[in-house]
Amino acid sequence: MMKSIFWTFFLLLLILTPLVHAQEDLQEDLSQQAANPLADLMSFPFQNNLNLNQGEFNRNTNVLNIQPVIPFADGRIITRTIFPIVRIPDYSSEEGNLASGLSDIVFTAFYAPAGQPFTWGVGPVLELPTGGELRGTRKWSAGPSVVALVQPGPWTFGVLANNVWSFAGDEDRSEINRMLLNLFIVRQLGNGWYVNSAPILTADWTAESDDRWTVPLGAGGGKLVLLGGKLPLNLQTQVYYNVVRPGFGPEWQWRVQVQFLLPKSFFSKD
């Protein structure tokens, strides 16, 4: 009896071991692709940013970015559209909200020629005044956007930058001249686990020098899992402290992201 159990267990181990290794290899490969904003991979990230201790009464602002990434032309064209859902508190008091709902939509399209180990992309970014009076700028803005990265071994080092200028919209609202600089570093740990840092630096060139920059410093980590053994789901969280910020800017930021990945293999019939 014991011999039968032993041989049954041994045979199951022989059968399942390559399947487990194959799943681990798939997780690591997808985790590496998820770290690349120019990967030929359709994805649907839901990124929530909670900005803490802002204004005189240390209020909190929440921004949920729904940002589908869709590649075209065999991955040579990558589009990313950000739909920000905001909750803005009443900064003049200790309680109550000023506004909530959709803010200004941001659309970016990158042309990304194939290249290894250095990958880059360039294209336009357009901000649409969909936020209305309280949740947005009421300005049309546009400018150039670039992204570049390398992925040596388990590492990813990259940068995404853009600058937008307003060119139309409500003449009573302030003009826009704003830069965004997103640095990202990822270290794969195996089996879908990773540690990362992806601070988003911003500069408002229309502001006084003391109120121009927001510079966060922090890190976090995450894991790529396979739902039902097939659907990839990338989970991550980071915490950042704004070492430089405007007088009215938040002190901390807590970011949580849930990203659904749809690789081409997901649509296969196998």
Q: pLDDT tens-digit profile of 163-193?
A: 999 999 999 999 999 999 999 999 999 999 9
Residue 99 banded pLDDT, cuts 50, 70, 90: confident
DSSP 209: G
User: Within 10 Å of residue 3's Cβ, how many Cβ atoms?
Assistant: 7
pTM of the predicted model as reported, rounded to 2 decimal places = 0.87
* 87-94 average pLDDT score: 83
d(CA 7, CA 40): 44
Q: In this predicted structure, what is the pLDDT of residue 155?
A: 96
The helix/strand/coil state of 132 is helix
Residues of the chain above pLDDT 90, percent: 69
Under 8 Å CB-to-CB from 36, ≥6 apart: which residues? 119, 149, 151, 156, 158
* 44-51 average pLDDT score: 97
Q: Which CATH architecture best describes the domain 20-267? A: Beta Barrel (2.40)
Report whether pLDDT(75) > 60. yes
